[in-house]
């Protein structure tokens, strides 16, 4: 049978079940059939009992949950904790008693309550009429302590959460991320080996460039997580199978950040020249992209033929794409002593520095490859098509030893531009968010992609930039976390809209078309930076909570994790049947580093992460 035909059998993931089971021939309709087979008396009795239980449940909810907490602590698996139980034996030396459940885990599981109640209440939150009890975040007024209230009213005192996580307890959290990686890797290995992306539901794969994208993106994650066996088999594939001498069109940006970046960082971590040789090969093959009238590169390159072209419908390139390949090409020049790579990307930065059409340092989203001018002007965002321009201004400055003042000036100006034009507070709870400007009009729309910004701001402050950058980082971090907490699955949608008008009953709205989650890394990336610099344990707890929800709503039983269509429906989040390579390259890596107590594991004073989470050395440091 062709693997794709199994898509019909996708089952929903109930709380406690832990993952999608794409083997069971279980269908929703069978429940309806069974229901219809019951007698009228049986049906009436069931309905009557259900209504009675529902009323009792609502009336005594806090008491009921308190009692259940007492019963379930240390008892049978319930809700999100269920996925923890199999992990614990792996981390215990033989003969030792099992580890006690971590207090912070209890706290997190308590917040969402027992599965049955949880689903019912989550359903309620799914409607647009959210009551005062349902309010999601209460950011207190000045001078008062900050308390986060979950979307259905359960109070989590962040200070208490901090106390509950002590450094020594993180070993099992690290092991849980490794386990998630192994599960993702198993799916890739079984059904997509050597291909670009796993399609976990249909137990097959998809090709983008045909270059083993997931495998290459995941190499340094395996090294960092000390998954030696997995790394060994992946390296063997790179040595024996990976060839760039192929007649394929690749996207310059994506192949630079994932493939070139992944190979360079793996070379640095391992010292194995196999990866450097492959990096040189792909780097050289990408160079035709820069042969344009303006020297602003084309979006696509045929790495076999040595030709390049823009997309079919335009001669424009995306600003974020042409300005987020610099870390990798500069490093390639340093390693090879061939200046051509650095020269072409530096030229792009110099041109963009001089261009008109910016708004207080904020750049438009498109640039023309013929005349080198911005096009489609008037839209300013820190989301898709502009995001990593800002990230790479700061990171190039850091990579080069903080000497290139023009990069720093452009970065500082852009952050002032964000504050002046894009920063607003939501209503009723005053969450700080970054919106967009379109032809002079402010729009309270924020992509999940923007959640890289707290981490970048914190990195800047750590490197001596103004302290108020760190204040803003903390505020935005809270907002990005709320983008998860306020959803019924505890996972963020791709895009949110903030309410700004007095009288709003909730801060965040999500449009139907924006409810998907692609397993993106930006929020856990920022949590990693914020934790490294502040050591505030709440950031770890937030990351832990997000990992639990990935496990609960996106894990596929036969291996792998899947993107989902609807973060607002915990009963049927609707799998998209795709595991993006950045889930292994970035999301799980940042979670691992977040839970690691070893600040020297990829020290932020020695390495700078590219925008795909591949660490590259800071030049003046002694790595």
Distance CA 29, CA 22 (A): 16
Peptide bond into 150 cis (omega under 30): no
Residue numbers 495-524 binding ligand DMJ by CB under 6 A: 520-521
Is 387 part of the annotated catalytic residue set?
A: yes
Is 73 part of the annotated catalytic residue set?
A: no
Nearer to ligand DMJ, 545 or 586 (CB): 586
Residues facing 436 on adjacent strands: 443
Contact indicator for 396, 338 with CB cutoff of 8 Å: no
Residues facing 575 on adjacent strands: 564
Nearer to ligand DMJ, 136 or 491 (CB): 491
CB of 99 to ligand DMJ, least distance (A): 33
Query: 522, 525, 569, 586: which one is catalytic?
Result: 522
Query: 254, 316, 328, 475: which one is catalytic?
Result: 254
Q: What are residue 212's phi and psi, to 5 degrees?
A: 65, 45
CB of 184 to ligand DMJ, least distance (A): 15
Nearer to ligand DMJ, 151 or 390 (CB): 390
Query: 387, 410, 478, 612: which one is catalytic?
Result: 387
Instruction: List b or e across 257-288, with b for residues whose CB sees 16 or more CB atoms inside 10 angstroms.
Output: bbbbbbbbbbbbbbeeeebbebbbbbbbbbbb
Residue with tokens 């021939």: 25
CB of 590 to ligand DMJ, least distance (A): 10
| Contact call for residue 460 and ligand DMJ (CB under 6 A) | no
Nearer to ligand DMJ, 156 or 483 (CB): 483
Distance CA 194, CA 216 (A): 9
Sketch the per residue contact string, 260 through 299, with ligand DMJ: x for CB under 6 A, - otherwise.
Answer: ----------------------------------------
Contact indicator for 181, 588 with CB cutoff of 8 Å: yes
Phi-psi region of 13 (alpha: psi -120 to 50; beta: other; left: phi over 0): beta
Q: What is the total count of residues that contact ligand DMJ (CB under 6 A)? A: 8
Is 254 part of the annotated catalytic residue set?
A: yes
Residue numbers 369-388 binding ligand DMJ by CB under 6 A: 388
Query: 134, 328, 494, 612: which one is catalytic?
Result: 494
Nearer to ligand DMJ, 84 or 282 (CB): 282
Contact indicator for 520, 449 with CB cutoff of 8 Å: yes
Residue with tokens 């708004």: 359
Nearer to ligand DMJ, 169 or 447 (CB): 447
Nearer to ligand DMJ, 112 or 258 (CB): 258
CA pseudo-torsion sign 188, 193, 197, 201: negative
Contact indicator for 475, 526 with CB cutoff of 8 Å: no
Distance CA 244, CA 368 (A): 28
Sketch the per residue contact string, 550 through 589, with ligand DMJ: x for CB under 6 A, - otherwise.
Answer: --------------------------------x---x---
Distance CA 75, CA 557 (A): 24
CB of 213 to ligand DMJ, least distance (A): 10
Distance CA 519, CA 517 (A): 6
Sketch the per residue contact string, 161 through 200, with ligand DMJ: x for CB under 6 A, - otherwise.
Answer: ----------------------------------------
CB of 384 to ligand DMJ, least distance (A): 8
The CA-based diameter of the chain, rounded to the nearest angstrom, is 83
Nearer to ligand DMJ, 427 or 549 (CB): 549
CB of 388 to ligand DMJ, least distance (A): 5
Residue numbers 85-104 binding ligand DMJ by CB under 6 A: none
Residue numbers 412-451 binding ligand DMJ by CB under 6 A: 449
CB of 202 to ligand DMJ, least distance (A): 23
Nearer to ligand DMJ, 192 or 584 (CB): 584
Count of residues making up the chain: 623
Residue nearest to ligand DMJ as judged by C-beta position: 611
CA trace torsion 112, 113, 116, 117 (10° rounding): -90
Sketch the per residue contact string, 596 through 615, with ligand DMJ: x for CB under 6 A, - otherwise.
Answer: ---------------xx---
Please state, in angstroms and as integers, the Cα–Cα distance from residue 595 to each residue in 90, 151, 347, following that order: 17, 25, 39
CB of 521 to ligand DMJ, least distance (A): 6
Residue numbers 233-252 binding ligand DMJ by CB under 6 A: none
Going by C-alpha positions, the residue among 276, 100, 265, 353 that lies closest to residue 615 is 265
Instruction: List b or e across 506-518, with b for residues whose CB sees 16 or more CB atoms inside 10 angstroms.
Output: bbbebeeebbbbb
Q: Give the residues lining the site for ligand DMJ (CB under 6 A).
A: 388, 449, 520-521, 582, 586, 611-612
Residues assigned a catalytic role = 254, 387, 494, 522
């Amino acid at each position: 049978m062709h693997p794709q035909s199994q898509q019909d059998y996708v089952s929903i993931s109930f709380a406690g079940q832990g993952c999608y089971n794409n083997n069971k021939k279980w269908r929703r309709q069978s429940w309806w059939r069974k229901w219809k087979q019951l007698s009228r008396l049986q049906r009436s009795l069931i309905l009557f009992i259900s209504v009675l239980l529902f009323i009792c449940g609502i009336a005594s909810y806090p008491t009921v949950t308190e009692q259940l907490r007492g019963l379930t602590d240390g008892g049978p698996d319930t809700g999100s904790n269920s996925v923890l139980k199999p992990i614990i034996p792996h981390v215990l030396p033989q003969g030792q008693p099992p580890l006690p459940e971590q207090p912070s885990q209890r706290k997190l599981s308590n917040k969402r309550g027992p599965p049955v109640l949880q689903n019912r209440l989550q359903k309620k939150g799914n409607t647009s009429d959210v009551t005062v009890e349902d309010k999601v975040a209460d950011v207190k007024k000045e001078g008062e302590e900050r308390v986060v209230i979950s979307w259905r009213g359960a109070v989590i005192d962040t200070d208490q959460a901090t106390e509950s996580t002590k450094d020594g307890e993180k070993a099992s959290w690290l092991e849980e991320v490794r386990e998630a990686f192994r599960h993702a890797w198993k799916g890739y290995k079984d059904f997509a080996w050597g291909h670009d992306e796993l399609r976990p539901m249909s137990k097959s794969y998809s090709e983008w460039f045909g270059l083993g994208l997931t495998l290459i993106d995941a190499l340094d994650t395996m090294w960092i997580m000390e998954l030696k066996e997995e790394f060994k088999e992946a390296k063997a594939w790179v040595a024996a199978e990976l060839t760039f001498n192929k007649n394929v069109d690749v996207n310059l940006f994506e192949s630079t950040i994932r493939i070139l970046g992944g190979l360079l960082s793996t070379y640095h971590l391992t010292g194995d020249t196999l990866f450097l040789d492959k990096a040189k090969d792909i780097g050289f093959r990408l160079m035709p992209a820069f042969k344009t009238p303006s020297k602003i590169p084309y979006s696509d390159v045929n790495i076999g033929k040595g030709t390049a072209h823009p997309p079919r419908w335009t001669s424009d390139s995306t600003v974020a794409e042409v300005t987020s390949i610099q870390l990798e090409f500069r490093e390639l020049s340093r390693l090879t002593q061939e200046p051509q790579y650095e020269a072409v990307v530096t030229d792009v930065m110099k041109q963009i520095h001089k261009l008109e059409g910016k708004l207080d340092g904020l750049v438009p989203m498109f640039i023309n490859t013929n005349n080198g001018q911005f096009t489609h002007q008037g839209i300013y965002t820190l989301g898709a098509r502009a995001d990593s321009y800002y990230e790479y201004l700061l990171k190039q400055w850091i990579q080069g030893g903080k000497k290139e003042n023009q990069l720093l000036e452009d970065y500082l100006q852009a952050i002032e531009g964000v504050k002046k034009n894009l920063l607003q507070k939501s209503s009723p709870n005053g969450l700080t968010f970054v919106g967009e400007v379109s032809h002079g009009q402010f729009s309270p729309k924020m992509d999940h992609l923007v959640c890289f910004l707290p981490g970048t701001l914190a990195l800047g402050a750590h490197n001596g930039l103004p302290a108020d950058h760190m204040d803003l980082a903390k505020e935005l971090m809270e907002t990005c976390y709320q983008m998860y907490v306020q959803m019924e699955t505890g996972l963020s949608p791709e895009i949110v809209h903030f309410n700004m008008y007095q009288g709003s009953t909730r801060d965040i709205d999500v449009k139907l078309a924006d409810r998907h989650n692609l397993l993106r890394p930006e929020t856990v990336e920022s949590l990693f930076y914020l934790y490294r610099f502040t050591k505030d344990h709440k950031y770890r707890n937030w990351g832990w909570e997000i990992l639990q929800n990935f496990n609960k709503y996106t894990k596929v039983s036969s291996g792998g994790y899947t993107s989902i269509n609807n973060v607002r429906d915990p009963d049927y989040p609707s799998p998209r049947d795709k595991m993006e390579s950045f889930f292994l390259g970035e999301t799980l890596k940042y979670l691992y580093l977040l839970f690691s107590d070893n600040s020297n594991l990829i020290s932020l004073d020695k390495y700078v992460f590219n925008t795909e989470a591949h660490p590259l050395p800071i030049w003046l440091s002694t790595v």
